[in-house]
Amino acid sequence: MTRQEMIIQGRDLLGEFFGTPGDADPFAWSRLVSTAADEIARATDCFYTTATADLVSGQAEYCAPQITKVKAVSVYDASGARRTIGSATIGGMDEWSGGWRDEAASTPEMWIPTGLNQIVLYPAPSYSAAGGLVLEGYGVPGVGWSAMSAACPLPDRAHMAVVYKAALLRIIQNPTSDNMARRAMLADEFADMKGKLEAETRRQTYPRPLPSSVLPCEGR
């Protein structure tokens, strides 16, 4: 479904038709659909995506705002060749060499997670490269999905879960007696859909969409 179709479905669930009191803020449902899609993606790991960042000479730390769990990393070397690099842990690197953080910059050989979407490259790159870092992992649609006519990037089986979650969020905003009467039914439907989505996600790896952008971590 597109964003617009999800909004229509959600409004129908709560009887918020055009001209009714619930129609006072025409942008409220768009925001709720975005929030619902991001929350479902975080909770179920149903959205596998890629993101790119510029390699900066001497900079070891990077983050990917729209990726919630980094699973794989590849880099372009100074000659422009792309290769996947291995992963390690902070503890493992410290056992291997207590001075690894201060080693001279070169072509990165390892990535070390320092948060769900933050990594350190070892060694830090000795060159800069536009789009030279590629991260893969579970993520959220985020701001990249904004057009009303754009299809939701989550798997099709997640679309109605997004609608029901958005409707539940709308009830929090607008707890009328009619909405509160619908709340239990909507919560049950959402829980059932979310459970089925989580089970399906565990059985499959979803195809990856086009890369989104990431930014170097700030203030680190």
Each residue's pLDDT tens digit, 34-67: 999 999 999 999 999 999 999 999 999 999 888 9
Question: Is residue 219 scored above 50 in pLDDT?
Answer: no
> Do 54 and 211 form a contact (C-beta atoms < 8 A)?
no
Looking at residue 17, its pLDDT comes to 81
More confident residue, 214 or 88: 88
Question: Is residue 211 scored above 60 in pLDDT?
Answer: no
The Cβ-side half-sphere exposure at 154, using a 13 Å CA radius, reads: 34
Q: How much is the pTM? A: 0.82
> Do 150 and 179 form a contact (C-beta atoms < 8 A)?
no
More confident residue, 219 or 85: 85
Is residue 121 left, alpha or beta, with left meaning phi > 0 and alpha meaning psi from -120 to 50?
Answer: beta
Separation CA 67–CA 70 (nearest Å): 7
Separation CA 170–CA 164 (nearest Å): 10
Which contacts qualify for 77-84: CB closer than 8 Å, 24 or more apart?
Answer: 77/107, 78/107, 78/126, 78/127, 78/129, 80/129, 82/134
- Range scoring the smallest mean pLDDT among 81-90, 117-126, 140-149: 140-149
Instruction: Please state the separation of Cα 129 from the chain's center in Å.
Output: 24
Q: 44: exposed, middle or buried (C-beta count within 10 Å: 0-12, 13-18, 19+)?
A: buried
